[in-house]
Amino acid sequence: MAKTKELSKDTRNKIVDLHQVGKTESAIGKQLGLKKSTVGAIIRKWKTYKTTDNLPRSGAPRKISPRGVKMITRTVSKNPRTTRGDLVNDLQRAGTKVTKPTISNTLRRQGLKSCSARRVPLLKPVHVQARLKFAREHLDDPDEDWENVIWSDETKIELFGKNSTRRVWRTKNAELHPKNTIPTVKHGGGNIMLWGCFSAKGPGRLIRVKERMNGAMYREILSENLLPSARALKMKRGWVFQHDNDPKHTARATKEWLRKKHFKVREWPSQSPDLNPIENLWRELKVRVAQRQPQNITALEEICMEEWAKIPATVCENLVKTYRNV
């Protein structure tokens, strides 16, 4: 049976007030949209205890004392990687025997729950300071400035990599039916490297990089795809180009090429892939590609191009609009 919603204190007091002026339980129930039995229970409680407040409820006492709660809360605050087994042992040494579920429930009541640790770039103090400097300098930039940026990056997509869909609805003993499985092969079954760009106005060009990329190849990619993307996206005059600090991007020849082409380049803190909203767009693309389940490299490339072109401009706009919230 589902747990019913508890009446507010104002509603309980109103029931008592209406009862005192002579209204019947049925009339009060109709007026307030409540069951007669609910109204009667509130009135009986008021007659017995002269209050509508919640009374102390019976139940088994907590196994972990307040002192024990403080101890395990302090332990996980100092070391979030502490396991439930470690905490069980700590409490047992202190004279309290509990189970792992009790530990979970106790910590949950303290606002703590077990979660998978997020993977983030390994940052040195110099990287942290550079990212902080970048954030402070651009915190108050108007939305128009971010909308006038073309974001770019490279990514690798595996043929049979980590598909986004990992759960299926199936009947008992149907776990090996092809519809309910994710095909895997050693080393991912091959992959393709892609270069792409986008702005708040939509996705730009996406191309496959078929050879190992070096500085010369990167400059050729920019030469053939960056300016056409800016034109297709109808970027405003003075638009800004963003790429990370990969050695191919920061090579002297590449910087000189960008300078001669009069491209404005956004300065970028090292070790900051998570600051680039195109990472979220790659995620969108990989989810779409995984759902179509390409079976060979040729199909993988074709599907990548098709799905990239289908990504709505609204998705790109929202990624840039919410950029400062990252």
pLDDT of residue 105: 92
pLDDT of residue 192: 93
For residue 183, is pLDDT > 70?
Answer: no
pLDDT of residue 326: 62
Mean pLDDT of 267-293: 89
Q: What ranges do the domains of the chain cover? A: 9-49, 66-110, 127-163+188-325
Lowest-confidence region among 105-109, 168-172, 237-241, 313-317: 168-172
pLDDT band at 6, cuts 50/70/90?
Answer: confident
Averaged pLDDT score across all residues of the chain: 88
DSSP code for 238: T
For residue 2, is pLDDT > 60?
Answer: no
CB-based burial label for 39 (10 Å; 0-12, 13-18, 19+)? buried
For residue 163, is pLDDT > 50?
Answer: no
Report the alpha-carbon distance of residue 28 to residue 19 in Å, rounded: 8
Question: Between residues 258 and 124, which one has the greater pLDDT?
Answer: 258
Q: For 8-66, how does the pLDDT look when each residue is reduced to its tens digit (9 = 90+)?
A: 888 999 999 999 999 999 999 999 999 999 999 999 989 988 888 877 767 778 889 99
What is the DSSP pairing of strand 240-242 with strand 149-158? parallel
pLDDT of residue 151: 96
pLDDT of residue 55: 75
User: Tokens 């190992």 correspond to what residue?
Assistant: 212
For residue 162, is pLDDT > 60?
Answer: no
pLDDT of residue 164: 46
Mean pLDDT of 232-244: 94
Report the alpha-carbon distance of residue 25 to residue 19 in Å, rounded: 7
pLDDT of residue 295: 87
Stretch (H or E) spanning 28: helix 25-32
Mean pLDDT of 180-189: 62
Which pairs with CB-CB distance under 8 Å and at least 24 residues apart come from 37-46? Answer: 38/7, 39/15, 42/7, 42/12, 42/15, 42/16, 43/15, 43/16, 43/19, 46/16, 46/19
- At the fourth CATH level, which superfamily is domain 127-163+188-325? Ribonuclease H-like superfamily/Ribonuclease H (3.30.420.10)
Q: Quote the strand ranges of 118-235, DSSP E.
A: 149-158, 191-199, 202-209
Which pairs with CB-CB distance under 8 Å and at least 24 residues apart come from 119-124? Answer: 120/274, 121/271, 121/272, 121/273, 121/274, 122/271, 123/271, 124/271
pLDDT band at 114, cuts 50/70/90?
Answer: confident
pLDDT of residue 292: 87
pLDDT band at 1, cuts 50/70/90?
Answer: very low
